[in-house]
Amino acid sequence: MVILPKALKIKNRYILLDFFDEEKLKKDFIKYFGYINYYDLHLNKIEINKRIILAVNKKHLYKIIFLLYLQNIKNFKIFKTLKGAKSFLNIS
């Protein structure tokens, strides 16, 4: 197994949300940024205690924030690590 240098690893950011429409986010992302950027997005969804954590590639973070504003979702929090998001929710 080859270990990648830190410069080549995919750096994720974690967005904590109460709710969002996944299909609308996908449709809007493809509409504004195209299919190639969508498949480069690496969007993962984690549901914990009726809250949603989105794992997003760091270079596409501002695109996702733009699309969340289009859905009128303005209360979200961004974390650098998943551990930080879990500690914010008081989950061990």
pLDDT tens per residue across span 23-39: 999 999 999 999 888 88
Strand partners, 28: none
Q: What percent of the chain has pLDDT over 70?
A: 99
**32-41: Cβ within 8 A, 24+ apart:** 32/63, 32/66, 32/67, 33/63, 37/63
**pTM for this structure?**
0.83
Tens-digit pLDDT profile for residues 64-75 = 999 999 989 888
Query: For domain 11-86, which CATH number applies: 3.30.70.1140, 3.30.70.120, 3.40.50.720, 3.40.50.300?
Result: 3.30.70.120
Question: Hey, CA dihedral for 69, 74, 76, 80, is it positive or negative?
Answer: positive
- Does residue 92 carry a pLDDT above 70? no
